[in-house]
Each structure stands twice: as structure tokens, then as C-alpha cells.
Amino acid sequence: MDDLHISKELAEGILRNDMAAAGIPLDSITARCMFEATEDSRGGHNCRFGATPLWDRELQITGGKVLRSEFMEWVEALVDSGHKYQRAGRASHH
């Protein structure tokens, strides 16, 4: 088995688990933009990380799989972004 690469199905599970563990809503653009074509304010399929879905447009996919290390870097960036957005949201409520 090739542990260096992961399938889209496995990657989706990892992303959902990490987002949930980080307290980031799974229906947020941050959580959805990896695998869904999310819309920006201008109606384009983009998020702050690039064209969405990121899986199809920004990652280096080989044989339907992506390097686990590359994907985990994306997950970390998305979780960090989600936390920043949440902090900004909480700050604006005070």
C-alpha cells in the first residue's frame, strides 16, 4: 500500500475530521472549498486559496491521488484560515 498518496475519499474524511476537531463548521466555505466549487462575492468559483474546488484545481493529482504531505499542508492552512475567520467574527460581535 502506498502511504505517500491518498485518495479523494480518504482526503475528504481527513478534512471533515480535522475541521470538526478544530470547531470549524462543515458548511463553511473554508471547510467546503477543497472539494466543492464555492462562490466568492463576485460569483466566481474561488476562495482565498485559489480556484475551487481546490482538489481539482490547485493540488497535484496523480492517478486520482495526491501526496499526503501536500494535502495535510492544505488542511493545516484551511484550519488556520477558519480559526482566523472565527476570531474575526467573534471580535466583531463585541
Q: What is the pLDDT of residue 40?
A: 87
Task: Quick: pLDDT tens for 15-63.
Answer: 999 999 999 999 999 999 999 999 988 999 999 899 999 999 999 999 9
**How wide is the angle at C-alpha 50 spanned by C-alphas 88 and 73, nearest 5°?**
75
Q: How many residues does the chain have?
A: 94
Phi, psi (degrees; rounded to nearest 5) at 47: -135, -175
Q: DSSP code of 21? A: H
pLDDT tens for 72-89 read 999 999 999 998 877 777
* Domain range list for the chain: 5-92
> pTM for the complete prediction?
0.86
